[in-house]
Amino acid sequence: MMSTIVRPAVSLIVLMTLITGMAYPLLVTGVAQVAFPEQANGSLVYDEQEKVRGSELIAQDFTGEQWFHSRPSAGSYATVASGASNLAPSNPALAARVADDVLKEKVEGQGPVPLNLLTTSASGLDPHLSPAAAQYQVARVAQARHLPREAVQRLVVDNTYSPLIGPPVVNVLALNQGLSELPATTRTH
């Protein structure tokens, strides 16, 4: 009597493990590799020496006046700890973090700091900024790199794209890679 209950239960567990734990993931991985190979492999970005510099899909922490800065990250840009901080608007820790970020991002004569540079995304890993948030940083980056503002501004425009759904965005990693690829003739001395 016991084997008539246990045997079907064990058989079902083994069958479902094979289907959902092995066959389905292998099928989805195979379809993704064929249909979307770049995305399935992480949308990696390489430099001239074919060294991986990051992913188009994951934000990185760029510090220093010479770089465009990404949105803040509640998880310190770590993919394992991705997520929001879950701090309420009334939480003093959130107010302190935003006030600190305002001081770090403020560019004199540029007006208020755009919200994209002060608020985290839900995942904490959003690699995109609004064009306004990227434009806000042009003067700082141009000055730090001794480049004409127009050249840096053109770089922002060239790296702005409109996704299928949603407003136009700028990928910060692509923007920063473009900075290092600007020809020396555009530099001011």
The pLDDT of residue 154 is 94
* Gap between the Cα atoms of 41 and 130, Å rounded: 26
pLDDT single digits (tens) 30-62: 999 999 998 888 888 887 788 888 888 888 888
pTM score, whole prediction: 0.75
Q: Which residues of 60-90 are buried (b: 16+ CB within 10 A; e: fewer)?
A: beeeeebbbbbbbbbbebeeeebeeeeeeee
pLDDT single digits (tens) 76-100: 777 776 777 778 889 898 899 899 9
Q: At what angle are helices 138-145 and 149-158 packed, to 10 degrees? A: 130
- CB-CB contact of 132 with 68 (8 Å): no
Say how many residues make up the chain.
Answer: 189
Nearest Cα to 188, choosing from 136, 153, 144?
Answer: 144
pLDDT single digits (tens) 110-148: 889 998 888 888 887 888 999 999 999 999 999 999 999
